[in-house]
Amino acid sequence: MPRAHIELDTHAVIAPVNRRTFGSFVEHLGRCVYDGIYEPGHPTANADGFRLDVVELVKELGSTTVRYPGGNFVSGFRWEDSVGPRATRPVRRDLAWRSIETNEVGLDEFARWLKLTDSELMLAVNLGTRGILEALDLLEYANHPSGTALSDLRIANGTPEPHNVRMWCLGNEMDGHWQTGFMSADDYGKLAARTAQAMKTAQPDLELVVCGSSGSGMPHFGDWERTVLEHSYDFVDYVSCHAYYQEYDGDLGSFLASALDMDYFIDTVVATADHVGYKKRSSKKINLSFDEWNVWYLHKSDADGDNPDPAAAASSEWRRAPRLLEDVYTVADAVVVGNLLMTLLKHSDRVTSASLAQLVNVIAPIMTEPGGPAWRQTTFYPFSITSRLASGEVIRPVIDAPTYDTARHGRASVIDAVATVDEGRAAVFLVNRDQSEPAQITIDVRALGATRVAEATTLADADVYAQNTLSDQNRVVPRANTTATLADGVLTIELPPVSWTAIGLE
């Protein structure tokens, strides 16, 4: 049995836990909105047509910030189509996902849905086919109290109070050839800088996210960030990161170590942003918004998959809400998602916003059936439990554990961990990447002042490819780990192979 020892020291603080780390993403893509969060004929639907069974699951998930309305969708979106009387809203073609957009759900309705879920709106503007003026118009409609043409239009449309959106994305993946209106780093950086300057002139307290590379496998990764930030550094607050992971050709060992690639991604973008800041002799630090991350089986037949093309997954017909990207997740997928979230916490000093992509039906932790139930995918559990337990400050652990070789990421530790500590409580999150053996773990928690194990929960299964489906919605659920014991300041626990575990301490 592999053995590992972990030391936790309250002096090894990385940063406070930022609640925006537990954000999510809703795009007008497939059945995320229509037949997902919105289904007027459903037995649980409210007056706005939103499924309240989904609302309850989103609240249980612990999602805090929701990025909207895209994604690739936003680069062809005309925001004014989505406000006003529903009966007069135009029906449009969405080029990103080759779908029909009815605009039944728009900004005002979605903002009301967010209130039901106690979430913050993170709004994206279209810089693919539109520009500065349209961004300013949307800002006026969304945030100005009253007394102007567009704020009064919002009031006339039934929303008297402003939406007060603070976080804004300046376009989406503008480096990708699949993006409507994609452009060079130089062209985008100039447009983003001018848009950001104008938006902050209108409202100085905005937090603006400039597009980074759409993936670390893009040939211009790093250079894109440098060029864009050299133009926009003085006007923006975040640079975005997007990363998706999957198992290739049965290489489970590499897949379980996907967090190492996320580490590399974050470190590279931080170094690039700081390089630009040093060149500008600026005291300002650009933070990272990891506003798309997940497991996504985009390259089912691609042995490499380093340059994703989301447009390849688009519908072949012009249909409303086609079933697109409805991945059904496994235990192994859930372990990786839990590990990726642990990695985001480890970088809380610079990654201060993140969005699991996406929320419902589309590569999502929540699935629905029209007229039927909503249920939790395997990936739901590590996210929801981490969101509930992580608070206070993130502690960097010292891990002494065996390692193994991976084909994609070099050597990886069999055990990974992170901890958080708050007044009166702490939490430890762990993964065991070993594919066949349980691991015996000892954790020195004396510095945390822990006296009791409040809970210990593990997600694992004898079949690492077990899934939750419409016909078997609770095939995979987290279970109490009864091996956890605490004596003389040392926590001992056994972790099953290919598992994710959370421990709550008091």
Are 344 and 479 found together in one domain? no
Are 364 and 346 found together in one domain? yes
- The parts of the chain modelled with pLDDT lower than 70 are 300-308
**Domain end residue (candidates: 355, 370, 389):** 389
Catalytic residue list:
173, 292
Are 85 and 224 found together in one domain? yes
Is the separation of the CB atoms in 495 and 438 below 8 Å? yes
Q: Give the tokens for residue 353.
A: 């916003």
**DSSP code for 21:** G
**Domain end residue (candidates: 389, 410, 432):** 389
Q: How far is CA 425 from CA 62, 479, 504, in A?
A: 19, 21, 7
Is the separation of the CB atoms in 101 and 164 below 8 Å? no
Please, what is the Cα angle at 473 between 467 and 478, to 5 degrees?
70
Are 201 and 243 found together in one domain? yes
Cα distance between residue 352 and residue 344, in whole Å: 9
357 in helix, strand or coil? strand
pLDDT of residue 490: 96
Are 379 and 418 found together in one domain? no
Cα distance between residue 29 and residue 210, in whole Å: 22
C-alpha distance across the termini of the chain, in Å? 29
Nearest to 335 by CA among 401, 375, 379: 379
User: What are the helix (H) ranges across 157-302?
Assistant: 185-202, 223-232, 252-256, 259-279
**Domain end residue (candidates: 366, 389, 412):** 389
Q: Give the tokens for residue 36.
A: 């997902």
- CATH number, residue 237: 3.20.20.80
Cα distance between residue 427 and residue 501, in whole Å: 10
Q: What are phi and psi of 61, to 5 degrees?
A: -60, -35
Are 411 and 385 found together in one domain? no
Are 179 and 62 found together in one domain? yes
Are 283 and 316 found together in one domain? yes
Are 374 and 427 found together in one domain? no
DSSP per position, 425-473: EEEEEEEE--SS--EEEEEE-GGGT---EEEEEEE--SSTT-B--SS-T
The pTM for the full model equals: 0.96
pLDDT of residue 312: 72
Is the separation of the CB atoms in 38 and 361 below 8 Å? no
Q: For residue 286, how far is the Cα from the chain centroid? A: 19
499 in helix, strand or coil? strand
Which residues constitute the domain of residue 433? 3-9+394-505
List % helix, strand, coil for the chain (3-state, nearest 5).
30, 25, 45
Cα distance between residue 283 and residue 12, in whole Å: 24
Cα distance between residue 289 and residue 168, in whole Å: 11
Are 166 and 262 found together in one domain? yes
Q: What total of structural domains would you count in the chain?
A: 2
Are 277 and 376 found together in one domain? yes
Are 350 and 471 found together in one domain? no
Nearest to 247 by CA among 24, 409, 367: 409
- CATH number, residue 492: 2.60.40.1180
